[in-house]
């Protein structure tokens, strides 16, 4: 009897694994097929989630929810228009200038390598940088071709981006008005022992994560911009914003952004690149050791190894959007399972 139960259990596990893997694969294919609309809906949901806090504030001031939603959206659109008129043109202008300068910077780095190789030969040092020099030359030609082709599709990309922004704002508006009904309907399909811990964990993880990441990104931009201006870094505003945006990618984003900016400046001036790297790392340490723990706390509680695995899987499945939501989703899953486990243990004790 015991042997037959063991065989039955092995059959269940053996057949269940491939079935689960097949279902996950089908879900992945469906996700990739509808990636663009899913991305639009996800961004709108995140925006509505963040805007729901000021909406609740206005509701406490005896305003009805529709009026509070309209006020918050009008203020948000006003801020976006102000940024679009002031900051965005500056960033676009610096981006275009940077793209035009990169080939010259690569040529300068190639000349510097040739100079270093000549000095090494005079001192009879076994240093051969011809492979690196040829690779840089090939990168220059490839980059010029890519910039020329990218300029052709720039207008279409901008138009598509504007339409996506309009869709996101409209969806966020309706989510703020009717999102509670939708979420209540979805969660009502789940049994109570899953519904309550899942909804609580989802709300807390996304709340703390996105608010903290946005505040930390703003801190990096505001702190690095004057430092870069003092150091006379070319494209100071663009590089500061690049590092700040990369901060939205959890744990590794700021490091990747600092590394990219340092590399771009290194093509032109190695001493300036060293100063930029040191200044950015100091500010990053302040952010990670002083501000980060206070804003983030231990709300996730996921092992760092699993966090990196979640980020890699999120990027593979949904690109940049996947990296942004991978950590709060991982925290939500862990928080839900912990709550269910603790509830079962409490019931067993009683």
Q: Same domain, yes or no, for 271 and 320?
A: yes
Residue 113 placed within a domain: yes
Residue 12 placed within a domain: no
Of 189, 222, 241, the domain-final residue: 189
Domain count, the chain: 2
Q: Same domain, yes or no, for 125 and 139?
A: yes
Q: Same domain, yes or no, for 310 and 326?
A: yes
Beta strand extents in the chain (DSSP E only) = none
Residue 4 placed within a domain: no
Q: Same domain, yes or no, for 46 and 121?
A: yes
Q: Same domain, yes or no, for 139 and 285?
A: no
Of 158, 189, 220, the domain-final residue: 189
Q: Same domain, yes or no, for 55 and 160?
A: yes
Q: Same domain, yes or no, for 182 and 35?
A: yes
**Which residues are within 8 A (CB) of 208 and not within 5 positions of it... i.e. 6 or more apart?**
295, 296, 297, 299
Residue 60 placed within a domain: yes
- The Cα–Cα gap between 149 and 139 comes to 15
Of 133, 156, 189, the domain-final residue: 189
Residue 324: predicted pLDDT: 78
Q: Same domain, yes or no, for 157 and 218?
A: no
Residue 14 placed within a domain: no
Can you read off the two tokens belonging to residue 140? 């220059």
Residue 227: predicted pLDDT: 92
Structural domain including 214 reads 190-345
Q: Are 262 and 243 in contact (CB under 8 A)?
A: no
Q: Same domain, yes or no, for 172 and 46?
A: yes
Query: What is the DSSP-derived secondary structure letter of residue 291?
Result: I
Can you read off the two tokens belonging to residue 210? 């996105």
Q: Same domain, yes or no, for 168 and 199?
A: no
Residue 133: predicted pLDDT: 56
pTM score over 0.85: no
CA distance to 35, 56, 65, 228, 288, per residue, from 239 (Å):
30, 36, 40, 8, 20
Number of CB atoms found within 10 A of residue 332's CB: 23
- The Cα–Cα gap between 213 and 210 comes to 5
Can you read off the two tokens belonging to residue 335? 């928080």
Residues of the chain with pLDDT under 50: 152, 154-155
Residue 21 placed within a domain: no
Residue 5 placed within a domain: no
Can you read off the two tokens belonging to residue 9? 């259990």
Residue 18 placed within a domain: no
Q: Same domain, yes or no, for 168 and 89?
A: yes
Listing DSSP states for 268-321 in one string gives T-HHHHHHHHHHHHHHHHHIIIIIHHHHHTTSS---HHHHHHHHHHHHHHHHHH
Q: Same domain, yes or no, for 184 and 195?
A: no
């Amino acid at each position: 009897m015991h042997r037959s139960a063991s065989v039955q259990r092995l059959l269940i596990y053996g057949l269940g694994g491939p079935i689960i893997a097949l279902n996950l694969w089908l879900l992945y294919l469906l996700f990739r097929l509808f990636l663009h609309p899913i991305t639009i809906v996800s961004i709108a949901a995140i925006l509505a989630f963040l805007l729901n806090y000021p909406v609740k504030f206005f509701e406490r001031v005896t305003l009805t929810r529709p009026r509070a939603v309209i006020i918050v959206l009008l203020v948000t659109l006003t801020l976006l228009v102000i940024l679009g008129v002031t900051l965005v043109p500056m960033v676009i202008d610096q981006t275009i200038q940077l793209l035009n300068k990169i080939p010259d910077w690569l040529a300068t780095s190639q000349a510097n390598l040739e100079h270093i190789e000549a000095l090494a030969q005079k001192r009879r040092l076994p240093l051969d940088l011809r492979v690196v020099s040829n690779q840089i030359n090939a990168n220059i030609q490839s980059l010029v071709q890519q910039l020329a082709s990218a300029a052709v599709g720039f207008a279409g990309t901008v138009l598509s981006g504007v339409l996506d922004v309009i869709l996101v704002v409209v969806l966020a508006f309706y989510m703020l008005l009717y999102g509670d009904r939708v979420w209540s309907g979805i969660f009502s399909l789940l049994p109570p022992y899953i519904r309550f811990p899942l909804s609580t964990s989802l709300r807390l993880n996304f709340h703390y994560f996105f608010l903290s990441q946005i505040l930390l990104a703003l801190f990096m931009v505001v702190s690095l911009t004057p430092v870069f201006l003092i150091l006379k870094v070319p494209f100071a505003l663009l590089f500061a914003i690049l590092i700040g945006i990369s901060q939205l990618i959890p744990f590794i984003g700021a490091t990747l952004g600092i590394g990219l900016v340092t590399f771009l400046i290194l093509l032109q001036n190695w001493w300036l690149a060293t100063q930029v790297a040191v200044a950015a790392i100091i500010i990053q340490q302040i952010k990670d050791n002083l501000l980060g723990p206070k804003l983030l706390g231990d709300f996730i509680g996921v092992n760092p190894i699993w966090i990196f695995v979640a980020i890699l899987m999120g990027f593979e499945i949904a690109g940049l959007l996947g990296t942004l939501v991978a950590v709060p989703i991982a925290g939500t899953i862990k928080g839900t399972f912990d709550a269910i486990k603790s509830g079962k243990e409490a019931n067993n004790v009683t």
